[in-house]
Amino acid sequence: MNAEQVLFWVFSVGTIVSAGAVIFLRNPVASAMSLVACFFFLAGIYVLLWAHTIAVLQVLVYAGAIMVLFLFVIMLLSLTDTGPIAQLSPSRIAGAVATAALLAALVAVFRKLPAADTVTWASDAGRVATFGTIKQLGAIMYTQWLFPFEAVSLLLLVAIVGAVVVAKSRI
Amino acid sequence: MNFTVVPTSNYLILAAALFCVGMLGVLVRRNALVVFMCIELMLNAANLTFLAFARERGDMVGHLGPFFIIAVAAAEAAVGLAIVISVFRNRGTVNIEEIQSMKH
């Protein structure tokens, strides 16, 4: 096994274990902290996929901003969770069975993909040198994808106003 | 130059497993905040799929998808948590079993 395979297994086992901890831990604060751990492991996976810019964004925005917001709300509500984390009802059992079936189907499909362990475009040295850099990402974002980028900025503005309107009891 | 890498299908199987963990959480957990966290897990599984195919094809447009998903997830978390706070203020609970006035 080379270094990339070792890192892939370390990060993927870490991702799945911490994602499982999110849903199986009772305390919401513990769930949020294991979700932060999951995002860090995923950032490692993104680096293995040569997407270091997105990995940095993942840590900054997800593990930083969004999870701080989550922790803030959990602390604000000071929830006392009693009782089982999930009551056993027919709809929940059906949900768990459907999830297992979906996982089995997806894994069966993905295993049929050709397991090519080389990058087919590696001979293109210019593309290898610029792949995943913030310069290249910015070049694509501000030329081809300028309108969606501006639309997202408008969406964030609407979300800020909407969050204030919804959460504030009296304006 | 030749790079030996972990096959794309391994990344896709990891994304499928992550999505299914998130889906299980959404379907079985009772705490609305944990349900939100599980939605974030599912969004991250989508990100991972985009990035895996971006490297497979050598096309950096695949990095734009995760970029926009992260931005939309931030907006979604802000509005969703505001709704959770509002519901908690009116009902005194974030247990989704007890918030069912829109059922039927």
**Owner of token pair 């270094």:** A3
**Owner of token pair 């990402």:** A137
pLDDT tens for chain A, residues 1 to 171 = 788 889 999 999 999 999 999 999 988 899 999 999 999 999 999 999 999 999 999 999 988 899 999 999 988 887 766 666 667 788 889 999 999 999 999 999 999 887 777 777 777 788 888 888 899 999 999 999 999 999 999 999 999 999 999 888 766
- Which of B4, B9, B27 comes nearest A115 by C-beta? B9
Interatomic CA distance for residues B22 and B12, integer angstroms: 15
User: Looking at the predicted structure, is the pLDDT value of residue B72 above 70?
Assistant: yes
Six-digit token pair at A72? 């803030």
CB A63 within 8 A of CB A43: yes
Taking only the tens place, the pLDDT of each residue in B82-91 is 999 998 888 8
Interatomic CA distance for residues A86 and A100, integer angstroms: 17
Answer yes or no: do A54 and B77 touch at CB < 8 A: no
Reported ipTM exceeds the 0.90 cut: yes
Answer yes or no: do A28 and B13 touch at CB < 8 A: no
Six-digit token pair at B73? 């997830």
User: Looking at the predicted structure, is the pLDDT value of residue B24 above 90?
Assistant: yes
In chain B, which residue's Cα lies nearest the Cα of A156? B75
Chain A residue numbers with beta carbons less than 8 Å from the beta carbon of B41 are: 19, 22, 35, 38
Show me where the domains of chain A are located.
1-80, 125-171
Answer yes or no: do A92 and B28 touch at CB < 8 A: yes
pLDDT of B80 reads 92
Q: A-B interface: how many C-beta pairs under 8 angstroms?
A: 253
Show me where the domains of chain B are located.
30-91
pLDDT of B2 reads 62
In A89-171, beta strands by DSSP E: none
Which helix H or strand E contains A126, and what residues bound it? helix A125-130
Query: Computed from CA positions of residues A168, A28, A65, B55, in that sequence, does the dihedral angle turn out positive or negative?
Result: negative
CATH number assigned to the domain covering A1-80: 1.20.120.1200
pLDDT of A171 reads 60
Interatomic CA distance for residues B9 and A112, integer angstroms: 9
Work out the mean pLDDT of chain B and round it to a whole number. 89
Write the CB contacts of B9 (distance below 8 Å, at least 6 apart in sequence).
Answer: A110, A111, A113, A114, A115
Q: Identify the bridge partners of residue B31 per DSSP, sorted by sequence position.
A: B95
- Which of A8, A16, A57 comes nearest B18 by C-beta? A16
Answer yes or no: do B24 and A96 touch at CB < 8 A: yes
Q: What is the 3-state secondary structure (H, E, C) of chain A?
A: CCHHHHHHHHHHHHHHHHHHHHHHCCCHHHHHHHHHHHHHHHHHHHHHCCCHHHHHHHHHHHHHHHHHHHHHHHHHHCCCCCCCCCCCCHHHHHHHHHHHHHHHHHHHHHHCCCCCCECCCCCCHHHHHHCCCHHHHHHHHHHCCHHHHHHHHHHHHHHHHHHHHHHCCCC
Query: Computed from CA positions of residues A117, A120, A123, A124, in that sequence, does the dihedral angle turn out positive or negative?
Result: negative
Give, as one character, the DSSP assignment of residue B7: -
More confidently predicted of A170 and B64: B64
Give, as one character, the DSSP assignment of residue A107: H
